[in-house]
């Protein structure tokens, strides 16, 4: 599994698709996400060994040129982040729920990583840009104290936050909807 993650966000879908091709050809990386995001942007998220992700990112930044909007590189990513991006993180016990909302996709990923490293929580989802106006959302669960600690750590480490909340005793209907 990947120990590093990199992201390139572009303001051109056509260029984004081309840059994605260059990135995955530049190094042996896993393509975690390559898709359009609102409002008409394109993101590429790759994972893998640190050196490979660095090489792919270097190529992606070079090929993005003036279309680059934002980039991100995290060399020691918490594995839950990758699973939550792909909606495959196993959520066995649902407890309190924390929600973090950001204006930027990069800030969303940084916050998810900080939250996962700060407390014994489970990331439910890292949603990036699709059908939410280009924003990002992190949802997580655990005991109330851990969720509060994770949310506080994420707030401290990230920028461009819209808001956050901790729901100590969520409704079973809400929990069902989050999964």
3-state secondary structure (DSSP) of residue 162: strand
Same domain, 166 and 144: yes
Of 34, 49, 74, which closes a domain?
Answer: 74
Q: Does the pLDDT of residue 130 top 80, yes or no?
A: no
Domain with 166 in it: 79-178
70 in the same domain as 18: yes
Q: Residue 1: what pLDDT?
A: 62
Identify whether the C-beta of residue 114 lies closer than 8 Å to the C-beta of residue 98. Answer: no
Residue 85 and residue 168 in one domain: yes
Output 52 or 174, whichever has higher pLDDT. 52
Among residues 51, 74, 97, which one ends one of the domains? Answer: 74
pLDDT at 166: 97
Residues 50-107 have pLDDT tens digits of 999 999 999 999 999 999 999 999 999 999 999 898 878 788 888 999 999 999 889 9
Contact 150, 119 (CB under 8 A): yes
pLDDT at residue 179, as a whole number: 77
Residues 48 and 85 in one domain: no
Count how many domains the chain has.
Answer: 2
In degrees, to the nearest 5, what angle opens at C-alpha 73 toward C-alphas 130 and 15? 55
Query: Token pair of 75, please?
Result: 């060399």
Q: Are residues 94 and 145 in the same domain?
A: yes
Same domain, 112 and 68: no
Nearest to 141 by CA among 93, 108, 173: 93
Domain boundary among 48, 74, 100: 74
What pLDDT score does 140 carry? 95
pTM here is 0.89
Residue 40: the pLDDT is 86
Whether 87 and 161 share a structural domain: yes
Same domain, 84 and 152: yes
pLDDT, average across residues 9-29: 96
């Amino acid at each position: 599994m990947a120990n590093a993650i990199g992201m390139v966000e572009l303001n051109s879908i056509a260029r984004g698709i081309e840059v994605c091709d260059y990135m995955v050809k530049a190094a042996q990386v896993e393509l975690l996400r390559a898709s359009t995001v609102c409002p008409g942007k394109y993101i590429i998220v790759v994972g893998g060994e640190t050196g490979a992700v660095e090489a792919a990112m270097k190529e992606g930044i070079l090929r993005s040129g003036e279309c680059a909007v934002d980039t991100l590189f995290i060399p020691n990513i918490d594995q839950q982040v990758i699973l939550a991006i792909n909606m495959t993180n196993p959520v066995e016990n649902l407890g309190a729920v924390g929600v973090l909302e950001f204006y930027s996709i990069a800030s969303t990923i940084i916050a998810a990583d900080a939250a996962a490293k700060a407390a014994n929580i489970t990331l439910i989802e890292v949603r990036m840009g699709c059908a939410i106006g280009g924003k990002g959302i992190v949802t997580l669960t655990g005991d109330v104290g851990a969720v509060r600690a994770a949310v506080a750590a994420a707030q401290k480490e990230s920028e461009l936050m819209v808001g956050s909340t901790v729901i100590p005793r969520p409704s079973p209907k809400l929990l069902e909807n989050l999964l």
